Amino acid sequence: MAAAFDRIGHDLLFVTPDERTALARAGVKPRGYWLGSDKIEEHILHTHGGPRIGVILLPPTPYAAPTLPESRIHQLEMAVRRLRPKVRLVVALSPWGARKEQELLAHADRNSLPDILLGSGPGAGQTGELAAGGKIAWVRAYTEGKSVMRVDILAWPEHDSIFKWTEDKNIRMSLFGLTEQYQEDPRLLTLMQSMGTD
């Protein structure tokens, strides 16, 4: 799997501490673009000829915790405030699960939310929801990796009190199911089959 990710050429890959431990047990050495830890991380991606993108990697919370700790909400708000003057777009990646991500959207300061929240963890996937009065686009991964989510920024967000995302005006969120109509890359298919995966 790590070799497959190497061929894709990510700018960064969010790997939680539990995933890092499981990969290490399987003998997989971490790559330099694998990021994520038990603390909030802030990164700036430099796009080719375009504006900079701020990326916030949210640390895991205990799955057994009944609610999202308020300290996590404040950490995210502070990270957004630090990054926003330096970048055109702030994206947060979350392993928290749908319920805790909903808590974040309900309780955080709308002006201190990231522009896009890419969620994962327990709960249903969704192509995209405009939340917090349109201040944030929330997308959640579908299970089993049988789809690809795509978010197109049609116009950069303005960070003022009247800005809001509007589908097909300044943002487009799409889901592509990986059905038979998509041809596998023979090299990746061979690699995955050699590892005993489906």
Q: What is the DSSP string of 149-195?
A: EEEEESSPPP-STT----BTTTEEEEEEE--TTSPPPHHHHHHHHHT
DSSP state of 52: E
Position 197 confidence tier, pLDDT thresholds 50, 70, 90 = very low
Does 45 or 146 have the greater pLDDT score?
45
Contact (Cβ atoms closer than 8 angstroms) between residue 181 and residue 1: no
Q: What is the pLDDT of residues 5-43, one digit of tens each?
A: 667 777 777 888 888 888 888 888 877 787 888 899 999
**Which pTM does this prediction carry?**
0.84
Average pLDDT over residues 150-161: 90
Give CA–CA dist 108/95, Å, rounded.
17
DSSP state of 60: P
Burial class of residue 92 in the structure, from the number of CB atoms within 10 Å of its CB (0-12 exposed, 13-18 middle, 19+ buried) = buried
Give CA–CA dist 133/136, Å, rounded.
8
pLDDT at residue 15 in the model: 84
Handedness of CA 119, 12, 21, 197 (dihedral sign): positive
DSSP state of 76: H
